Structure formats: C-alpha cells, structure tokens
C-alpha cells in the first residue's frame, strides 16, 4: 500500500474536531470562526444510514443555524430519493452523487451561496471525503462524530476508524478544542 506524502496528509487535518455530533455545533462556535455558510454531509452526519428522515432535534438545529449561515447539503450518496427527501424535510438545497473528495460540488454550493470559500465550513463525519474535499478547496473543515443508531454497528464505522487510525499515523491531530474524540477512539481499540 502506497501512503500519501506528508503534504497530502496535512489536507486530512480538520480545522476543528468537534468531538460530538452536529447537534452540538452551535451558532457561537460558527460565529467564533466567522463562518457564514455550511456545506453539510448527509449520511451519518445528519441522519443515520438506517433512518430515512431527519429527527426533530436536527430540524430544530437547522432552524436555529440557518438564521446565521446559509446551508447546503452535499452528499456522495447516489440516491436522489434519499437525499432529496431529507433535504426537502429540512427545506434545504442539496446535491447528491457529489464524488467528494472532488472539490467541484462544494465549489458549486459556495458559489450558490455567493460566499468566498474561507467563509464556508465543510462539515462531515469522514476524513477522506468530507475533510479532504473541504481542505482541497480552502474551506474551513469541521469533523463531527457520526450520527449512528447506537443499537446497530454499521460497517462504515470500521472504515471510519481505519481512516482515523491512518490519519493519525500520517500526523493528523484529532485532539481539537471541543473534543474528546481521540480518547473515545482509543477506548474502542
């Protein structure tokens, strides 16, 4: 296996490791970093894989955050039905099949918001798609804990843990201001 060079590894470094689910990403935090727009991943950032609808808690979060920031959903999921229904229930614009870490769809969202990329945060649960895409474009990047149904261990969780492990080997620090992420990961080893 060929490892990325260090210059590429730094692109895996989130600007902020929240250490919690997106529900705990507050307006105060976004204002602290002068964020005016959000590009949100969908699967396991907003909605667990085994759910088809946004929770009431998430709807309330969106209602609050949209008063201070424009929001777009940008998902790699190819299902227009799944992502479209979630977007509709939250009354948010969306792009499915985005092919992150490609920058193209993130740039499209920032352009639609009429914001420069530094004012936009890419928020997601995955390093090699969400964080990498955001960093490649020059967005502020926020890693959140996945929104999972605690009763079900999804296969993606294993992949995510591998990404976390590999990133740390490459020198990425996941010990952020707002988190206990690293500690939680270690406890699962």
The least CB distance from residue 30 to Mg ion, in Å, is: 20
Decide if residue 44 touches Mg ion (CB under 5 A): yes
Residue 140 CB contacts under 8 Å (≥ 6 apart), including other chains: 15, 16, 33, 35, 118, 120, 121, 122, 134
* Sheet order of strands, 16-17 included: 16-17, 140-143, 120-124, 37-40, 70-74, 94-95
Q: Which of 40, 98, 125, 144 binds Mg ion (CB under 5 A)?
A: 125
Q: Which of 17, 41, 71, 167 binds Mg ion (CB under 5 A)?
A: 41
The least CB distance from residue 50 to Mg ion, in Å, is: 14
Total of residues contacting Mg ion (CB under 5 A): 5
Tell me the window of 24-32, 52-60, 117-125, 170-178 that interacts with Mg ion (CB under 5 A): 117-125
Decide if residue 43 touches Mg ion (CB under 5 A): yes
Cis peptide preceding 118, ω within 30 of 0: no
Tell me the window of 37-45, 59-67, 161-169, 179-187 that interacts with Mg ion (CB under 5 A): 37-45
Tokens 């950032």 correspond to what residue? 45
Question: If you count them, how many residues does the chain have?
Answer: 189
Contact 178, 32 (CB under 8 A): no
Choose between 37 and 124: whose C-beta lies nearer to Mg ion: 124
Please report, as ranges, the residues that interact with Mg ion according to CB under 5 A: 41, 43-45, 125
């Amino acid at each position: 296996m060929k490892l990325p060079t260090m210059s590429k590894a730094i692109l895996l470094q989130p600007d902020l490791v929240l250490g919690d689910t997106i529900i705990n990403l507050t307006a105060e935090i976004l204002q602290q970093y002068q964020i005016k727009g959000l590009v949100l991943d969908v699967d396991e950032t907003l909605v667990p894989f085994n759910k088809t609808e946004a929770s009431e808690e998430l709807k309330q979060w969106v209602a609050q955050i949209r008063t201070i920031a424009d929001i777009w959903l940008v998902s790699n999921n190819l299902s227009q039905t799944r992502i479209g229904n979630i977007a509709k229930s939250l009354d948010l614009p969306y792009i499915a099949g985005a092919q992150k870490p490609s920058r193209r769809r993130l740039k499209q969202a920032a352009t639609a918001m009429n914001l420069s990329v530094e004012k936009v945060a890419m928020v997601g649960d995955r390093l090699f798609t969400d964080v990498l895409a955001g960093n490649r474009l020059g967005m502020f990047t926020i890693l959140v804990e996945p929104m999972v149904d605690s009763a079900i261990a999804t296969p993606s969780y294993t992949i995510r843990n591998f990404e976390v492990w590999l990133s740390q080997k490459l020198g990425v620090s996941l010990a952020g201001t707002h988190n206990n992420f690293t500690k939680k990961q270690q406890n699962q080893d």
